Structures are given as structure tokens and as C-alpha cells.
């Protein structure tokens, strides 16, 4: 098992850091990795447009609403479709339990599995026999899985808000390192629900994850988020009870 250090990105959705000696062997798999949903055509259409400048009180109210929603989110199960920067599409099932836990189980025949827990994000490729372990704070997932999400004066900064009928997009950067890339969250607005996120890395490579068949609430077996957790039947909710 290796821990990424000093960030060369091989899968932008996680902003991972993988030693250069392993990049050639992992690129084919990692290009398919985490955090994106839609077909290639839809993914291009959904790329965040230039957001309007923040406009004081009205935008503060929107940011507060999103912040309250994210902090109220505890458990979630959904189908996902991921579109990598090269247009490759993968699908699977996602489980999220805040704070700190997430599982992306890719549909067969994909050999990929991503598990977040114990402060790390673990990415496994069983076909290559390789595993990458990354501190969760170095990934965009760390934003969604934080114990407390603060969009109004914390370590995150909202750089833009884009409104469409029935849809709202917020673009976020880490205030200390805005050049490392951004995370754009897309919500349905009536009611407010997370539906998609797009990670744009420092090289402007985009990975998009879109959620469907979202189910909120329930409890999960803690073993679902362990590094060696076996594949589970999505219809059983990973041991939801």
C-alpha cells in the first residue's frame, strides 16, 4: 500500500499524488476513476460556465442555504455515472456517510473500488493489483465529508454562483491554495438536493460525477467503509438497517 505525497494528479477527481514511477502502469485505470456522472456529450454540456460575481446579501443567503443542506446530510445511497477527462464513462453505486465515509463501487467488469474512511481515501485496482492510499484532506471528497462544512469564512471560498431554472451551481476552492483546482457542486433547487459535482484540476482537466436514484437516510454496516470490504449487493444498501 502506498500513500501519495506531493501531488502529481493521476485522477483529478481525487487530486491524488502518485509517484512518477507508477504513473505509466496506473494511468489507464486511474483515468476511469472516481467522481463523475453523465454521458460524454452531457458532461461537456454540463461543464460549469463562468459564474457571475458574488452579489453580497442575495448570494450570502444562497451560500447559507447550501451550507445548511450539506451539514444536514448524514447518509446517502445513489447510482453514479462518472466521466473522466478523456471521456471514458464508468458507472456504479455510491454510499456516503458523513463525516468521513464514502464508498464508490464500480459495476463489473470494472476492477475499481474507492473507499473513504479513517481519514484516508483508498483506491484499489484489483486487475493491476495496486492500491493507493491518500489523506482525505488532500481530495475534494474531503470537502463533502468534513464534520462541519463552512462556506462562509472557513477554509473554503465560494468563487461563483450560477443559477439556471431548477438548478444551482456553486464553485469552491480551498482559500489557502486556490490554484490547485476547484469543485463545482450542482443542486436541484426545489427541494435542494445534490445531483452532481465537477472537479477541475490545476491543468483544467475536468471529471464529473452525476448522481441518480438518490436515497437519503438509513444506517450502514461500518464494514462497508473498511479498506478490505468485499463487493456488496446495492439492492441491500450495504447492510442498511
pLDDT single digits (tens) 69-89: 999 999 999 999 999 999 999
The pLDDT-based confidence of 182 (bands split at 50, 70, 90) is confident
Q: Tell me what pLDDT residue 201 has.
A: 81
More confident residue, 122 or 11: 122
State how far Cα 103 lies from the chain centre: 11
The pLDDT tens digits for 211-236 are 999 999 999 999 999 877 667 766 54
> Would the pTM count as exceeding 0.85?
no
Mean pLDDT, range 177-202, rounded to an integer = 87
- Concatenating the DSSP letter of every residue in 116-144 gives EETTEEEEEETTTTEEEEEEGGGSTHHHH
Q: Tell me what pLDDT residue 80 has.
A: 96
Asked if residue 128 has pLDDT above 80, the reply is yes
Q: Where are the domains of the chain?
A: 9-43+51-216
Report whether 127 contacts 119 (CB < 8 A). no
Maximum mean pLDDT: which of 49-63, 104-118, 128-142: 104-118
Asked if residue 189 has pLDDT above 70, the reply is yes
Q: Tell me what pLDDT residue 103 has.
A: 94
Q: How far apart are CA 179 and CA 207, in angstroms?
A: 17
9-43+51-216: in CATH 2.50.20.10 = yes
In the chain, the DSSP E strands lie at 2-3, 75-83, 89-97, 101-106, 112-117, 120-125, 130-135, 156-164, 167-174, 181-189, 192-201, 206-216
Around 126, how many Cα atoms within 13 Å sit in the side-chain half-sphere? Answer: 14
Mean pLDDT, range 35-46, rounded to an integer = 29
Q: Tell me what pLDDT residue 35 has.
A: 34
Q: Tell me what pLDDT residue 75 has.
A: 95
Residue carrying the nine cell digits 461563483: 160
Q: In what order do the strands lie in the sheet with 130-135?
A: 2-3, 130-135, 120-125, 112-117, 101-106, 89-97, 75-83, 206-216, 192-201, 181-189, 167-174, 156-164
Asked if residue 193 has pLDDT above 90, the reply is yes
Amino acid at each position: 500500500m502506498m500513500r501519495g505525497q506531493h501531488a502529481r494528479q493521476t485522477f483529478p477527481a481525487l487530486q491524488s499524488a502518485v509517484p512518477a514511477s507508477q504513473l505509466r502502469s496506473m494511468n489507464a485505470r486511474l483515468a476511469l476513476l472516481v467522481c463523475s456522472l453523465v454521458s460524454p456529450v452531457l458532461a461537456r454540456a454540463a461543464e460549469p460556465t463562468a459564474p457571475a460575481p458574488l452579489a453580497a446579501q442575495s448570494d450570502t443567503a444562497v451560500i447559507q442555504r447550501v451550507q445548511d443542506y450539506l451539514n444536514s446530510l448524514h447518509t446517502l445511497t445513489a447510482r453514479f455515472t462518472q466521466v473522466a477527462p478523456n471521456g471514458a464513462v464508468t458507472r456504479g453505486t455510491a454510499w456516503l456517510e458523513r463525516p468521513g465515509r464514502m464508498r464508490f463501487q464500480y459495476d463489473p467488469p470494472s476492477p475499481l473500488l474507492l473507499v473513504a474512511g479513517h481519514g484516508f481515501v483508498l483506491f484499489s485496482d484489483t486487475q493491476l493489483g495496486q492500491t493507493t492510499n491518500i489523506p482525505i484532506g488532500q481530495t475534494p471528497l474531503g470537502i463533502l465529508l468534513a464534520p462541519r462544512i463552512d462556506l462562509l469564512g472557513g477554509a473554503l471560498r465560494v468563487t461563483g454562483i450560477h443559477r439556471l431554472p431548477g438548478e444551482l451551481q456553486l464553485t469552491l476552492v480551498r482559500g489557502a491554495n486556490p490554484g490547485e483546482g476547484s469543485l463545482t457542486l450542482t443542486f436541484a433547487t426545489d427541494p435542494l438536493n445534490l445531483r452532481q459535482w465537477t472537479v477541475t484540476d490545476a491543468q483544467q482537466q475536468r471529471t464529473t460525477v452525476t448522481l441518480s436514484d438518490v436515497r437519503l437516510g438509513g444506517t450502514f454496516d461500518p464494514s462497508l467503509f473498511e479498506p478490505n470490504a468485499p463487493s456488496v449487493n446495492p439492492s441491500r444498501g450495504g447492510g442498511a438497517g
